[in-house]
Amino acid sequence: MATFSFTISASKVTNLKGTTSGAFEAVADRGLSRKSKHNVLTAKFGDGYEQRVLDGINTKQDQFSISFKNRDASDINLIAAFLDDSAGKSFDFVITDKFSQGNLTTSTIKVVCDDYNISYGQATNHSLSCELRRVYEP
């Protein structure tokens, strides 16, 4: 089964909530989307002839649109607090993206979240959607 999630460590949860707590895994809802694009330099010549070459070391750009719908308000508030705390910093995002011997395998990539939206459907249940952008750093 495919996995798209990030984990908030127990120490980070404790710090954000102000109470002792275990780690929290934020698993994205089904229906997420991924937009990928490669950086390509193109030289165009006459008669439609062109040459292309990948531009840079990490040429693939990925952007994920994920959501957490109808979740407990405390979970949404925790995810939002984590995204606020992570503003300008990268965090690990686990994605299912490869096949190995016929089985799905996961990769861990670095992402940043530039913005998110919260919908307050009910007093106890909220929804959050966000855009995660892949970054390349050690």
pLDDT in tens, 98-126: 776 677 888 899 999 999 999 998 889 99
The pLDDT of 67-95, averaged and rounded, is: 94
Mean pLDDT in residue range 5-27? 90
Confidence of residue 82 (pLDDT cuts 50, 70, 90): very high
Q: Which run of H or of E encompasses 36? A: strand 33-38
**Structural domain count, the chain:** 1
Tell me the C-alpha distance between 66 and 128, whole Å.
Answer: 9
Residue 20: the pLDDT is: 84
Q: Are 35 and 63 in contact (CB under 8 A)?
A: yes
Pair 42, 51: CB distance under 8 Å: yes
Q: Are 132 and 109 a contacting pair, CB within 8 Å?
A: no
Structural domain boundaries enclosing 97? 4-135
User: Which amino acid is residue 122, in one-letter code?
Assistant: Q
The one-letter amino acid code at 105 reads T
The partner residues of 94 in beta bridges, in order of sequence, read: 5, 108
Residue-level pLDDT at 1: 59
Q: Which two tokens stand for residue 84?
A: 């606020």
Q: Which helix (H) or strand (E) holds 41?
A: strand 40-44
**CA–CA separation, 21 and 11 (whole Å):** 8
- The pTM of the full predicted model, rounded to 2 decimals, is 0.85
